Amino acid sequence: MLYLKTGMPEEGDIVLCTITNIHFHSVFVSLDEYNKAGLVHISEVSPGRIRNLRDYVSEGKKIVCKVIRIDQEKGHIDLSLRRVNENQRRQKVSEMKQEQLAESIVGLVAKQRKMPVEKLYDEVVDKVAKEYDALYPCFHDVAREGMKLESLGVDKKLADELTEVINQRIKETVAELKGTFTITTYEKNGVVTIKEALAEAKKVDESCIALRYEGGGRYKITVVTNDVKQSQKILDSAVSAVESYLDRKGAAFKFAKQEA
């Protein structure tokens, strides 16, 4: 990838890494977005006792980690693999794939112009960086919001060439699934029980789940992602989480999926 951030990441950041070396108690990685090196101690690879690190990781593998400590003076970056949840991992991988798509768009225009892709990339990023942290969010706004690259100072001819390819390559797919929970409980604190049950659904993936009360003990759930299989998996997990919680509380539960 051509995309690189300047400076150091911050504690708590989620970063994409490539494993470069494995020692007895440590995994050495390079941070793909920063061109920096980092370390994952064996205790931060996976919960529980690990006898052989190579059962969990291998050289060259891409992993998503959380930054847990930074020594600015020494330039040391300590990372954790086990503290990254599935939603964070999926979101980070998606972000990097999107940025790779943006770079491929620049590559196609560079090929048309018969010039080095690195040179054109630097030229575009120099303008885009005034308003955006990365290329893809900018290109997304061009495709979905009609944003003009000239407004960022990009030469009009180049802006037209980029916009044409952007509109060809960035086609947003929306996979929306809906359903209705019907919940009945006669407990004194029944309202609290229902709220806690719905909170279990949200925990599955807060970024793409929406819940709404429809009256009469019915609650609508909507799951939106850009992949049908992913939406279905999240919906199934959310329904199971609610059903499991209400079953422990002795509440009556029904779920009906809304057909498209």
The beta-strand segments (E) located in the chain are 14-22, 26-31, 36-41, 62-71, 76-80, 175-184, 209-215, 218-225, 252-258
**140 lies in the same domain as 182:** no
pLDDT of residue 260: 59
State which residues of the chain have pLDDT below 70. Answer: 172-174, 260
pTM of the model: 0.66
What are the residues facing 35 on neighbouring strands? Answer: none
* CB contact set of 60 (below 8 Å; sequence gap of 6+): 18, 19
Q: Can you give the CATH number for the domain in which 198 is found?
A: 3.30.70.1130
Angle of helix 117-128 versus helix 135-145 axis, rounded to 10: 70
pLDDT of residue 173: 62
**How many domains in the chain?**
3
Contact 38, 29 (CB under 8 A): yes
For 112, the domain range is 87-169
Q: Can you give the CATH number for the domain in which 25 is found?
A: 2.40.50.140
pLDDT of residue 146: 92
Asked which of 120, 135, 169 is the last residue of a domain, the reply is: 169
In whole angstroms, give the CA distance from residue 21 to residue 23.
7
Reading the block at residue 177, the tokens are: 């699934």
**123 lies in the same domain as 49:** no
pLDDT of residue 218: 93
Considering the domain boundaries, does residue 2 fall inside one? no
Considering the domain boundaries, does residue 8 fall inside one? no
pLDDT of residue 226: 75
pLDDT of residue 154: 96
In whole angstroms, give the CA distance from residue 35 to residue 7.
10
Considering the domain boundaries, does residue 1 fall inside one? no
Backbone angles phi, psi at 198, to 5 degrees: -70, -30
Considering the domain boundaries, does residue 24 fall inside one? yes
pLDDT of residue 87: 79
